[in-house]
Structure 1
Amino acid sequence: MPSKKSARLAALTVAAVCSAASTVVLTAPAHADSVRIHDIQGSTRISPYAGKQVTDVAGIVTGVRTYGSSRGFWIQDPQADDSPLTSEAIFVYTNSTPKGVAVGDAVTVSGTVQEYVPGGANTGNQSITEITKPTFTVVSSGNAVPAAKVIDAKSVPAVYSPQGDTAAGGSVNGLTLEPTKYALDYYESLEGENVQVADTRVVGATDPYSELWVTVKPWEHRNRRGGTVYGSYDSQNTGRIQIQSLGKTADFPVANVGDVLEGATSGPLDYNQFGGYTLVANRIGTLKSSGLQRETTQKQSRGELAVATYNVENLDPSDATFAEHASAIVNNLQSPDIVSLEEIQDNNGATNDGTTAADQTVQKLIDAIVAAGGPTYDWRSIDPVDKADGGEPGGNIRQVFLFNPQRVSFTDRAGGDATTAAGVTKVGGKAALTVSPGRIDPANAAFANSRKPLAGEFVFRGKTVFVIANHLNSKGGDQGLTAQFQPPARSSEVQRHAQVTALHAFVKDILDTQKNADVIALGDINDFEFSDTVKILEGDGALWSAIKSLPKSERYSYVYQGNAQTLDQILISPSIRRSCDFEYDSVHVNAEFNDQISDHDPQVLRFRP
């Protein structure tokens, strides 16, 4: 390699300006002259040189990112030290598109070491060690890129993360890495390095941002459709890793869950706001389809009542998905007698002009169902107070009951509106709602800026069934599984717990009035079947999440970061559960597919009241 002096004279030097970023400010050595990459990376997540200048850091360029908000290039030292704790690579953040640098260039870089937190410190995300405000010199070109380190089932530990340091608020940042013991430490020890996975199964379908998820552990909580199930807070699924590409978006594989990327996929290992550790590929394996098909549930018999929940993801009249949603309801769900719809928007969608009515949205769906060969559904709902129920601004999402009047009738009791609370009374010795449809405890602070439960009274073959449609507070704001805080905080639970406390009390009022009442609480619960949210809602046996009647490998309605998990549920009262004459089906038509029309899978319950 040429001397520093001759290299500076003979090669191109490029400077870039660092944009504002969330940084971790730490004390560091008073001065850092010429250091190696592994010195900068250190043996913890935070560089001992954070906030300091470094000069002439040498490495081979392994990848160049010319898009997005984090543009720059990765360099890797081909002369590794003997420590498995220290990464040999680092990202050089140029802010704008890097000029005059290419993969295979040997470079020296000077700049400021920074710990950048994707999404900002409030996310709780881990940081990426970067060199910012760089000047760099290309010493030579056409060099061999350091060989990719193989990430596979043998190399990734079974335990996900160390316990955070309580003295540091639960952060793992200051802990010495243990890459043979913890998966997150293993990935961190490879931060920025050229890595490779091979013959990996897709566990999260390609999304609109040209991202997908694979697993390097083929049998880790695998289900029959090729996904990886998240069945407890201790089964994070260590083999999951996100795949992005440094190539053209048009060339990115369009994959469903269960497909396989055959051969090698390789490139620098990054960390981002929405996926944690991510292989940003220079080379992507060949996609082999598994032929995954959308499921169809069983048709209810004449004496069975079929009740479904379906989150249609911000549906408004301007959407192009009505025919597809109708086909799913008619063909895949077999035209349930009652359908609880979540995320029905008002008549002009996200336009924020005070409109709250959703009759046009609902009627368009009903007409599409008829066109698909289904029944002419009737419907009931309550328009929310403008901008009071959260969701997409201007959309005024709400729950809506569809019901087939040829099979079931709705008991209307006047007086229900956005602010009137439904109550429970006794009529003819049996429980009845004071208003139907009605909202449960809408003035309760637990439902501030969130959807209020919608209660309705139905009659099937002379028997009353109480149905409560829910769309609880979202998990937005929770720290991710790859957060620097371990275990990650789930701050959104606080509001959900208050919501299900109120909901449980309402169900108890029904059951205290009529012990054998048939009650169903269903919808987008926005929490797992094993969560405390569901435990509170189930309470002392007032309700039971019927998805737990399925094998553990079948309990999912949503795929997030490669984890197949349960958010949508149907909970049933003891009279339904004790009969043992019910069937439950999580109908997988959306969550596993790249061309999904909603990110949720609908759920169906069939039983004999």
Structure 2
Amino acid sequence: MANPRARRLIAAAGLSLAVVASLTTVQAPANALSSDVVISGVYGGGGNSGATIKNDYIELANLTGSPINVSGWSVQYASAAGAVFQMTNLTGTIPANGKYLVQQAAGAGGTLSLPTPDATGSIPMSGTSGVVALVTAQIPLVGCGISCSTAPNVKDLVGYGATANVETLAAPGLSNTTAAARSGSMIDTDNNSVDFTSGVPKATNTAGTTVTATDTGGPTDPTPGSVRIHDIQGSGRISPIVGQNVTNVPGIVTAVRTTGSSRGYWMQDTSVDADPLTSEGLFVFMGTTSPTVVPGDSVLASGRVTEYRPATGSQALTELGGTVSTIKLSGGNALPAPVTVDLPPVYTKSGSLEAQPLEPSSYVLDWLEVHEGMRATVAETTKLVSPVDTEFGELWVTFDPTHNPTPRGGHIYLDYADNNAGRFFIQSLVGAPAANVGSTLAAGTTGVIDYQSFGGYVLQATQLGAITEGGLKRQKVTPPKKAGDLSIATYNVENLTVADSAAKYQRLAEAVVVNLGTPDILALEEIQDNNGTATGTVAADQTVAKFIAAIVAAGGPTYDWRSIDPNEGTDGGAPGGNIRQVFLFNPARTTFVDRPGGDADTAVTVLRERPTSNQVYLSASPGRINPTSSAWASSRKPLVGEFLYDGNKQLFVVANHFNSKGGDHPHSAAVQPPNRTTEVQRIAQATEVRNFIADLNAKSGGQARAVVLGDINDYQFSPAVGALTDNGALLKALINDLPAGERYSYIFDGNSQALDHILVTPNIKGYAYGVVHINAEFSDQASDHDPQILRILTGCNTEPLPERCRPGSPVVDVE
């Protein structure tokens, strides 16, 4: 599975089919997206009735890290219905990541001057609807009609209000007290309606001087407006006034976030209403601008009420965004008393949550929504059900440790219908020490309830209780294997590349030698190419050689290896990494049967020695299963190899790394149960592997032994694993041999779960099997997956079976 930490780097994972279909009726966007200079602000109400700022303006932004000279460029304006553009010439340079201010005509009113403009025109712009173009020439636009966004020399264009001369759709209409501002990270999508929001006028020049319409207090007396936080939050999941601009909303700042691209502050109203379903807390979103307020400040905040969805299918976070302004009234005020986190026993109801009334006493997700943005505290001692992610200060605790427990202190995930409702997500804004599953978090963790993408609701902690390490130990396989036994392991080594540190190689190698007891065959997932960058390199011989050398240095054997290089950029994973599966094998204990012909595009097939023989072999070894099938699009193709062991016993091994879950809707999705969008491809992949094993079984008369293993990226109870095993008729999923609480190799969102698997054909009679827990439960990880190991035991093909071969005999012991 892709590393969940990567979620912080993704701006948008994709669109649902319904959204894609709706977009097909919209007119085509402009020819090109501007990636350097864009129009960032437009205001036409300067000096009009009710306006504070005296002049109209056009603001530009440099999105790059280098200065850009705009001499010889122009900004041009036309009325909403007109085809005649008025022009203002530009000179000078926009600083790296800076702004450029063009002052236009003044009205008769207003009290506030703009910062010193970088260019000055005299165009009287409309306060409600119009068209502004940024042009890389000083020639008036003529004859482009309502398609000026695609005219020659037009770098960017904004149509606002009631005009058809736009990029895709118009930005919101404006007023004497609102300006259009490019939202978020200023990315240009060539859709004015998406790229711009309306809000309080705010203008910045190349010197970095900013003037906001509220700098003089907006209204001369900075008094609270008529809208309160509980009015914004409403008694449902979506604000009843979403999309509206609000002015001077009062609150006490309770916490601030000053890092990343989602900076801002939380505030809470101390004057609560009588409705228990309305939250009194709210996040004020400021993008990459760090807030200057601190906890305890009494403020008046103005901006646009928005509903932010951090991921496809997720719930929405009600917040104040757009062009935000803040008036500080006083500092050092007492913070509102936190509510005690008290989760109901049931995680959620079914259906569209946004269409149903909130029931906070019955459902976890409803309780958290009712307290969104408010201060909350964990008033009891809890246990960690995930390791602390020290990079991001993240951890999961449980309020119900007796529900679906693992023997080592976690929550086992055994069914889609049971999300382990006692889990609770904490992200510490003050950092967190390393600690493992089973550790204790003392009472007192306090912060504000927020909403993220995969983790869903989270307590953004401004105070973290003391953590006491629980003493969890890493496991290793015992006792040593016997002569004639064959040990086979699978291990996802998390994007291993030759550039990784010697320490990572050492940790992984020690796991192979010490914790896994030097398996005879080792299927590795996520082996990257020799440089991990998109430069046309696909070979991984240097990466594998470095790993083998590290195993030798750790006291292990000199493994040999086989793999097939993928085509560049076709197998998914980290961009440029070209991850693939690799077989390592100990030539002193097993033989790899080489047959030529295997490559990235050729499908391996099963052949008979003679037409009537049950003796089968592979057309190529190593080979790939139907690699040109659409099931493997942007995903890893299974690696198949033939081995001999214990004399001349034949074994076929299939190493897999199925499509990841990235793109599935989160557990806390707005519609329940969540849509598992990526499952379709995994079922198709499972069917391809199932068909290969079925063919092997049929042509061998049920005699061929096969082991299918790897990162299947799905649960033992999933439809994908059901398709892979033919519901147990063709392959046996060994994870089900373990007690229910031990069926896991990975931890995500506080759930211990099985993503990695070893499956065997039924004719493998005697075996021992186990998951070796060395990574997933620990803060200090060599990989985010735990390896698994299978021993095919010698002397288990006779009847009656010897004691150690009988079903129900102990699996591999781990200590």
Task: Please report the TM-score for the alignment, with normalisation by the length of structure 2.
Answer: 0.68
CA shift digits 1:77-133 (9 cap, x unpaired): 2233333321111112233545552212223333221111224xxx11111111223
Residue of structure 1 in register with 2:384 after alignment: 202
Equivalent-residue separation in structure 2 for 1:438 and 1:96 (angstroms): 49
Residue 88 in 1 paired to residue 280 in 2? Answer: yes
Equivalent-residue separation in structure 2 for 1:351 and 1:513 (angstroms): 42
Counterpart amino acid of residue 286 in structure 1: A
Residue of structure 2 in register with 1:353 after alignment: 535
SS in 1 for 2:671: coil
Answer yes or no: is the 8 Å Cα contact 1:268–1:281 preserved in 2: yes
SS in 2 for 1:173: helix
Equivalent-residue separation in structure 2 for 1:495 and 1:100 (angstroms): 47
Residue 137 in 1 paired to residue 327 in 2? Answer: yes
Equivalent-residue separation in structure 1 for 2:666 and 2:463 (angstroms): 27
1:344 Cα deviation after fit: 0.9
SS in 1 for 2:442: strand
Residue 46 in 1 paired to residue 46 in 2? Answer: no
**Residue 492 of structure 1: which of 678, 690, 693 is its match?**
678
Residue 446 in 1 paired to residue 631 in 2? Answer: yes
Residue of structure 2 in register with 1:168 after alignment: none
SS in 1 for 2:381: strand
SS in 1 for 2:385: strand
SS in 2 for 1:326: helix
Q: Which moved more, 1:418-427 or 1:333-342?
A: 418-427
Counterpart amino acid of residue 138 in structure 1: K
Equivalent-residue separation in structure 1 for 2:748 and 2:292 (angstroms): 38
Answer yes or no: is the 8 Å Cα contact 1:84–1:179 preserved in 2: no
1:286 Cα deviation after fit: 0.7
SS in 2 for 1:204: coil
Answer yes or no: is the 8 Å Cα contact 1:65–1:97 preserved in 2: no
Residue 308 in 1 paired to residue 489 in 2? Answer: yes
Residue of structure 2 in register with 1:12 after alignment: none
**Residue 583 of structure 2: which of 384, 401, 410 is its match?**
401
Equivalent-residue separation in structure 2 for 1:588 and 1:548 (angstroms): 17
Equivalent-residue separation in structure 2 for 1:79 and 1:531 (angstroms): 49
Residue 378 in 1 paired to residue 560 in 2? Answer: yes
CA shift digits 1:401-427 (9 cap, x unpaired): 111111111111222111111111122
Answer yes or no: is the 8 Å Cα contact 2:263–2:291 preserved in 1: no
Residue 607 in 1 paired to residue 792 in 2? Answer: yes
**Residue 217 of structure 1: which of 394, 397, 400 is its match?**
400
Residue of structure 2 in register with 1:116 after alignment: 308
CA shift digits 1:357-385 (9 cap, x unpaired): 11111111111111111111111111112
1:436 Cα deviation after fit: 1.2
Counterpart amino acid of residue 342 in structure 1: E
1:143 Cα deviation after fit: 2.2
1:73 Cα deviation after fit: 1.4
Answer yes or no: is the 8 Å Cα contact 2:523–2:584 preserved in 1: yes
Residue 523 in 1 paired to residue 710 in 2? Answer: yes
Residue of structure 2 in register with 1:510 after alignment: 696
Equivalent-residue separation in structure 1 for 2:549 and 2:779 (angstroms): 27
1:268 Cα deviation after fit: 0.6
Rate the CA distance shift 1:440–1:218 in 2: closer, same or farther, 3 A.
same
Residue 343 in 1 paired to residue 515 in 2? Answer: no
Residue of structure 2 in register with 1:433 after alignment: 618
Residue of structure 2 in register with 1:177 after alignment: 358
1:222 Cα deviation after fit: 1.8
Residue of structure 2 in register with 1:575 after alignment: 763
Residue of structure 1 in register with 2:752 after alignment: 564
SS in 1 for 2:458: strand
Rate the CA distance shift 1:98–1:412 in 2: closer, same or farther, 3 A.
closer
Residue of structure 2 in register with 1:293 after alignment: 473
Answer yes or no: is the 8 Å Cα contact 1:18–1:93 preserved in 2: no
Structure 2 residue runs of 5 or longer lacking an equivalent are 1-177, 186-192, 197-223, 795-815
Of the two, which has the highest radius of gyration? Answer: 2
Counterpart amino acid of residue 411 in structure 1: V
Equivalent-residue separation in structure 1 for 2:720 and 2:657 (angstroms): 13
Equivalent-residue separation in structure 2 for 1:81 and 1:287 (angstroms): 37
Answer yes or no: is the 8 Å Cα contact 2:768–2:793 preserved in 1: no
Answer yes or no: is the 8 Å Cα contact 1:18–1:94 preserved in 2: no
Answer yes or no: is the 8 Å Cα contact 2:243–2:306 preserved in 1: yes
1:476 Cα deviation after fit: 1.1
Residue 19 in 1 paired to residue 177 in 2? Answer: no
Task: Please report the TM-score for the alignment, with normalisation by the length of structure 1.
Answer: 0.90
Equivalent-residue separation in structure 2 for 1:237 and 1:19 (angstroms): 38
Residue 264 in 1 paired to residue 449 in 2? Answer: no
Answer yes or no: is the 8 Å Cα contact 1:431–1:517 preserved in 2: yes
Higher relative contact order (CA 8 A, sep 6+): 1
Equivalent-residue separation in structure 1 for 2:650 and 2:285 (angstroms): 64
Residue of structure 2 in register with 1:501 after alignment: 687
1:305 Cα deviation after fit: 1.3
**Residue 370 of structure 2: which of 185, 189, 203 is its match?**
189
Residue 146 in 1 paired to residue 346 in 2? Answer: no
Q: Which moved more, 1:129-138 or 1:305-314?
A: 129-138
Equivalent-residue separation in structure 2 for 1:178 and 1:334 (angstroms): 52
Q: Which moved more, 1:139-148 or 1:535-544?
A: 139-148
State the aligned residue count. Answer: 570
SS in 2 for 1:87: coil
CA shift digits 1:145-197 (9 cap, x unpaired): 1111111xxx3122222212xxxxxx322321111121111111110110011
Percent identity, aligned pairs only, is 51
**Residue 592 of structure 2: which of 397, 406, 410 is its match?**
410
